[in-house]
Amino acid sequence: MQTAEIQRRWLTYFGERGHTVVPSASLVSDDPALLFTVAGMVPFIPYFTGVVPAPFPRATSVQKCIRTLDIEEVGKTTRHGTFFQMNGNFSFGDYFKEQAIAYAWELLTSSEADGGLGFAEKDLWVTVYEDDDEAIGFWKKIAGLPDERIQRMGKEDNYWSTGQPGPAGPCSEIYFDRGPEYGPEGGPAADDTRYIEIWNLVFMQYLIADVQSKTEFRIVSELPRKNIDTGMGMERVAFLKQGVDNMYEIDQVRPVLDAASALSRRVYGSDHDDDVRMRVIADHVRSSLMLMTDGVSPGNEGRGYILRRLLRRVVRAMRLLGVDSPSFPELFQASRLAMRDAYPDVEEQWERTSRLAVAEEETFRTTLASGTTILDLAVEDTQKKGAAALPGDTAFLLHDTFGFPIDLTLEIAEEAGLTVDRAAFDRLMLEQRTRAKADAKAKKRALADLSVYSEMRAAGETVFTGYDYLQTDSRVLGILLDGLPVDRAAAGEIVEVILAETALYPESGGQAADAGAIVGDGFELEVLDVQRPVKGLISHTVEVRSGEVAVGVPATSVVDPVYRHSAAQAHSATHLVHAALRQTLGSEAHQSGSFNKAGYLRLDFAWNQALSAETRSELEEIANNAVRDNLEVTTRILPIAEAKAAGAMALFGEKYGDTVRMVDIGGPWSRELCAGIHVRTSAEVGLVNLVSESSVGSANRRVEALVGLEAFRDLAAERAIVSTLTSSLKTPREQLPQRIESLVAELKAAEKKIAAFEASQLSGRVPALVEKAARVGGYLAVVEDLGTLSSADELRSLATSVRERLGSEPSVVALAARVGDKPAVIVATSPAARERGAKAGALAKQAATVLGGGGGGKDDLAQGGGSDTAAIGAALSGISATLAG
In a domain, 152, yes or no: yes
| Residue numbering of the annotated binding site | 571, 575, 674, 678
Residues 401 and 550 grouped into a single domain: no
How far is residue 594's CA from residue 266's CA, in Å, rounded to a whole number? Answer: 45
Query: Is 355 found in the same domain as 318?
Result: yes
Do residue 568 and residue 554 come from a single domain?
no
Rounded-to-integer distance, Cα 697 and Cα 356, Å: 10
Residue 726 in domain: no
Is the pTM for the entire model greater than 0.85? Answer: no
Closest CA to 63 of 80, 83, 49, 79: 83
User: Residue 445: what pLDDT?
Assistant: 36
Rounded CA-CA distance 370/883 in Å is 42
754 assigned to some structural domain: no
Q: Which of 345, 358, 413, 344 is nearest to 382 (CA)?
A: 413
Distances (CA, A) of 277 to 296, 330, 382, 406: 24, 17, 29, 14
Q: Are residues 99 and 160 in the same domain?
A: yes
How far apart CA 107 and CA 143 sit, in angstroms, is 12
- Rounded to whole angstroms, the Cα distance separating 549 from 174 reads 54
Last residue of a domain, one of 416, 444, 472: 444
> Do the Cβ atoms of 115 and 108 come closer than 8 Å?
no
Minimal CA–CA distance to 864: which of 879, 876, 882, 851? 851
pLDDT of residue 448: 41
Domain end, chosen from 393, 424, 444, is at 444
The string of DSSP codes covering 542-560 is EEEEEEEEETT-EEEEEE-
Identify the pLDDT of residue 29.
83
Burial of 736 (0-12, 13-18, 19+ CB in 10 A): middle
pLDDT given for residue 401 in this prediction: 67
CB 51 within 8 A of CB 453: yes
How many structural domains are present in the chain?
Answer: 5
In a domain, 476, yes or no: yes
* 366 and 273, same domain (yes or no): yes
Do 428 and 458 reside in the same domain of the chain? no
Q: Compute the C-alpha angle 812/818/820, nearest 5°.
A: 135
Asked whether residue 551 falls in the same domain as residue 583, the answer is no
- Angle (CA) 339 274 338, round 5°: 10
State residue 111's pLDDT score: 95
How far apart CA 845 and CA 295 sit, in angstroms, is 53
Rounded Cα distance between 604 and 695, Å, is 9
In what helix (H) or strand (E) does residue 256 lie, and over which residues does it extend?
helix 254-264
Residue 743 lies inside a defined structural domain of this protein: no
588 and 546 in a single domain? The answer is no
With respect to residue 724, please indicate whether it lies within any of the assigned structural domains: no
From the first residue on, what is the mean pLDDT of each consecutive set of 10 residues in the chain (885 residues)? 94 96 89 81 84 91 89 79 93 94 96 94 95 94 94 92 83 94 91 90 91 88 90 94 92 96 94 93 96 86 86 89 93 96 91 89 80 78 84 83 72 80 86 62 44 80 94 94 91 95 94 96 95 91 95 96 96 96 89 92 90 95 97 94 85 70 94 94 96 84 95 94 93 92 94 81 85 91 90 88 90 92 93 92 92 87 91 93 89
Binding-site sequence positions for Zn(2+): 571, 575, 674, 678
Answer yes or no: do 206 and 258 share one domain: no
Q: What is the CATH number of the domain that holds 118?
A: 3.30.930.10
**CATH for 510:** 2.40.30.130
End position of a domain, from candidates 541, 559, 577: 559
Check whether residue 342 and residue 486 sit in a common domain. no
Question: What per-residue confidence (pLDDT) applies to 759?
Answer: 73
Question: Is 317 within the bounds of a domain?
Answer: yes
What pLDDT score was predicted for residue 161?
A: 83
37 shares its domain with 111: yes
Note whether 240 and 384 are same-domain residues. Answer: no
Q: Calculate the alpha carbon distances from 775 to 114, 781, 820, 832 in Å.
A: 103, 6, 32, 14
Domain that holds residue 70: 3-245
In a domain, 721, yes or no: no
258 exposed, middle or buried (CB, 10 Å; 0-12, 13-18, 19+)?
A: middle
Strands 20-21 and 58-66: parallel
Which backbone phi and psi does 658 adopt, to 5 degrees?
-70, -30
